[in-house]
Amino acid sequence: MRQKEKLINIKGLIIAIIIFTLFYFSAYFQLIPILIFNIKEVSGSTQVILSTFSNIVLLLILFLIFRKELIKEWKKFKNKFLENIDTGVKYWLIGLGTMMISNIIITFVLNLDQAANEQAVQEMISSLPWLMVINAGIIAPCTEEIVFRKCFKKAFPNKWIFIILSALVFGSLHVITTMTSPLELLYIIPYGALGASFAMMYQKTETIYTSVAMHMFHNTALTILSILA
């Protein structure tokens, strides 16, 4: 008789809550260079530098915590590289398509402005564009995939609970921290759709580097397009 799949892994859930809290308050790492260099005023370019610094510190901490699993999953990703990338691209296209359609409906049919989070990112790109390629295109996808995919998968062994919760929390964090209107909660749909696609490719390939690679590609492409536009 097949053993019933657990819905929640208590140990994994505790770890996920701790890591999520660390992620949520990681901006406080910016106080380190502010205090060391006695920074009095934070301009747009300085904010990008501080954000990059805090993301690097967070990524180093996450790597130290999950280094054994990350090394193991890297080998799994490398050994089936083409197969993993093929799976990642398929799920990314589904997520991208859903994201684009829902964005069109929200922006043009409901006549809502661009999401506040997207506006904030665009301002940072205009301040230090090529550093944002590194920050938003490379570093952020690594930290977000570990937090929203790896930690959530450990906490919620059930496939669909993992995918749904990972998508909802991922989408919510991209909206509620910067939203200026309750209607902006609708943007959880496009962000969540993309998050769901990352969760599905991780679930399918069982290596976090598949979703990391596609998340990097997605963010880097959008950042470069914003720079060139």
End-to-end CA distance of the chain: 58
Of 228, 209, 226, give the one whose Cα is nearest residue 88: 209
pLDDT band per the 50, 70, 90 thresholds, residue 120 = confident
What separation in angstroms does the CA of 140 have from each of 5, 75, 82?
Answer: 32, 22, 24
Summarised one tens digit per residue, pLDDT across range 131-173 is 999 999 999 999 999 999 999 999 999 999 999 999 999 999 9
Plot region of 115 (φ>0 → left; ψ -120 to 50 → alpha; else → beta): beta
pTM of structure = 0.94
Residues 91, 217 contacting (CB under 8 angstroms): no
pLDDT band at 2, cuts 50/70/90?
very low
pLDDT digits (tens, 9 = 90+) for 103-119: 999 888 777 777 777 88
- Asked if residues 146 and 153 have their Cβ atoms less than 8 Å apart, the reply is no
Contact 197, 74 (CB under 8 A): no
- State the DSSP H helix or E strand holding residue 203, giving kind and residue range, or none if neither: helix 188-205
Dihedral sign computed on CA atoms, order 172, 173, 174, 177 = positive
| DSSP structure class, residue 185 | G
User: How distant, in Å, are the alpha carbons of 130, 136, 162, 192, 202 from that of 126?
Assistant: 9, 13, 36, 26, 32
CA distance 211 to 89: 9
**Closest alpha carbon to 58 in 30, 23, 20, 15:** 23
Within 10 Å of residue 25's Cβ, how many Cβ atoms?
11
Which tens digits make up the pLDDT trace of 67-110?
Answer: 999 999 999 999 999 999 999 999 999 999 999 999 999 888 77
% the chain with pLDDT above 70: 97
- The whole-number average pLDDT for the span 214-224 is 97
pLDDT level of residue 4 (50, 70, 90 thresholds): low
CA 174 distance to own-chain centroid: 9
Q: What is the mean pLDDT of residues 6-21?
A: 94
